[in-house]
Amino acid sequence: MQSAVVSIAKAESADDFESVHRAVSESLKLIGGLETVITSGLSVLIKPNVLFTLDYKTGAVTNPYVVRSICRLAREAGARDITIAESSVIGCRTTDAFDAAGYTRLADEEKVKLLDLKKARTLYMGIPNGVLFRRIEIPEAIMKADVIINVPVMKTHDMLPVTLGLKNMKGVIKDKDKKRFHVWGLEQAIVDINKLVLPQCTVIDGTVAMEGLGPVHGTPVNLGIVISSFDTVAADAVASSVMGVDPENVGYIQLATQQGLGCADLSSIEVCGASIEQVKRPFSLLSLDLERYEREYGIRFHESGACSGCRQTIYTLLNNYMKGNLDRMRDYTIIYGQTVKPPEEIKGKLLSFGTCTRNYKKRGDYIPGCPPMQEHVLEYFGLDPDTWVE
């Protein structure tokens, strides 16, 4: 695999635009500048991570100052028009997420377009070298853009060690396919979609990152860095290393380099600006001992083919509000996921969790939703929805 260049730049403050702008500008200059991929008259599509109705200070969504900086640098490089495009998680309206994260205001002030990919016109595209799928529905705006700039957040994930650049491009697909990725095999599916929509430039937002219960309800990490590369795989490998996670232990990064999408070999990556060791800060990964809940409370979890929606709702319930209230869940068997089946022997009460388990709702209790609303889950267990802890 050909060597790659990745830059790391430090931002003095995540909350000050000028500070963030200097870091973004430095990181891009170190790899050759946006002029390397943008020439006069080209259209640019920026894909941030705005997956939920949260502020960037939580570490869940891309800092809008990073995207504002990229908009200005892209225009300086000659971009004809600029679009910020995203599709929020299943169960959340993208427009609401844009509003909460400050992107509606950003788009208005910078005179750029804001596109909800959930509502965008789509077309079917073929992937001849796809492993899990060979044809998928993609927003037309993604395929027509001259340049795609990928702007993920550095985060841990409930199913993967980390979620970075390659994973962020999963956000361009339809909700129905987001679900199917978890059935087909998430890591190879991530690689397959990048064979079609691999960005020309990736700028990883590490100004405010997230550890623990990512990608939504984790703990913010004020890391204060920006990582850039024209090789998304290399950017992910470096960012993963900064987070204390060996990229060799991240399946989709390894699959991507094996299938020719970029370089994940740190010995072949030129890191300029700050070094990995200078900014390295090991992240806490998600750790929930579900066996403990069965051992101590008789709560049994059965999952198969679940996407992040149900997983995050359940994990956040256990990790936050149910502390001190676990007796309310005693002796429940909880099933969730697209391909799950109830166990043959059920002790206590069966709870079918989420729309994918609706076929079993007559065998016990059922909480609908894709995913179920947090307040509905709390109400089911007799708790006050107004006291939900994010």
Please report, for the domain that includes residue 50, its CATH number.
3.40.50.11440
Report the distance separating Cα 157 and Cα 17, nearest Å: 28
216 and 161 within one domain: yes
284 part of a folded domain: no
What secondary structure letter does DSSP report for 174? -
* pLDDT on residue 231: 98
338 part of a folded domain: yes
Choice between 186 and 225, residue whose per-residue pLDDT is larger = 225
Q: What does the pLDDT average to over 239-256?
A: 97
139 and 27 within one domain: yes
Report the distance separating Cα 206 and Cα 227, nearest Å: 7
Is residue 266 within 8 A of residue 247, CB to CB? The reply is yes
Q: How confident is the model at residue 292 (pLDDT cuts 50, 70, 90)?
A: confident
Predicted confidence (pLDDT) per residue in 231-243, tens digit: 999 999 999 999 9
255 and 302 within one domain: no
285 part of a folded domain: no
130 and 97 within one domain: yes
Res. 286: pLDDT tops 70: yes
Is residue 1 within 8 A of residue 263, CB to CB? The reply is yes
314 and 265 within one domain: no
Report the distance separating Cα 313 and Cα 377, nearest Å: 9
Report the distance separating Cα 320 and Cα 383, nearest Å: 13
* Number of domains the chain is built from: 2
234 part of a folded domain: yes
8 part of a folded domain: yes
Q: What does the pLDDT average to over 80-90?
A: 95
CB crowding 247-284: b at 16 or more within 10 Å, else e: beebbbbbbbbebebbbbebeebebebbebeebebebe
147 and 18 within one domain: yes
* pLDDT on residue 76: 98
18 part of a folded domain: yes
Checking 298-301 for CB contacts under 8 A at 24+ apart, the result is 298/330, 298/331, 298/332, 298/347, 298/348, 299/326, 299/329, 299/330, 299/331, 299/332, 299/334, 300/332, 300/333, 300/334, 300/343, 300/347, 301/334, 301/336
Q: What are phi and psi of 248, to 5 degrees?
A: -70, -15
Range of the domain at 246: 4-279
244 and 354 within one domain: no
333 part of a folded domain: yes
Domain of residue 303, CATH code:
3.40.50.12280
* pLDDT on residue 305: 86
Predicted confidence (pLDDT) per residue in 86-116, tens digit: 999 888 899 999 999 999 999 999 999 999 9
326 and 250 within one domain: no
Q: How confident is the model at residue 2 (pLDDT cuts 50, 70, 90)?
A: low
258 and 124 within one domain: yes
Is residue 207 within 8 A of residue 11, CB to CB? The reply is yes
333 and 231 within one domain: no
Res. 1: pLDDT tops 60: no
337 and 198 within one domain: no
164 part of a folded domain: yes
Instruction: Point out the domain boundary residue: 279, 302, 321.
Output: 279
**Full strand arrangement of the beta sheet holding 300-303:** 300-303, 332-336, 349-353, 365-367
Q: How confident is the model at residue 288 (pLDDT cuts 50, 70, 90)?
A: confident
Q: Is the pTM of this model over 0.75?
A: yes
Report the distance separating Cα 230 and Cα 218, nearest Å: 28
Instruction: Point out the domain boundary residue: 230, 258, 279.
Output: 279
Report the distance separating Cα 385 and Cα 58, nearest Å: 21
Choice between 316 and 150, residue whose per-residue pLDDT is larger = 150
Q: How confident is the model at residue 321 (pLDDT cuts 50, 70, 90)?
A: low
Report the distance separating Cα 47 and Cα 99, nearest Å: 16
Q: Which residues contact 243 (CB under 8 A, 6 or more apart)?
A: 154, 156, 162, 209, 211, 281, 282, 283
Percentage of the residues of the chain whose pLDDT score is greater than 90: 77
Both tokens of 116, joined, read: 């909800």
Q: What are phi and psi of 116, to 5 degrees?
A: -85, 110
* pLDDT on residue 309: 79
255 and 184 within one domain: yes
Instruction: Point out the domain boundary residue: 247, 279, 311.
Output: 279
Choice between 284 and 324, residue whose per-residue pLDDT is larger = 284
Angle between helices 17-30 and 64-76 (to 10 degrees): 50
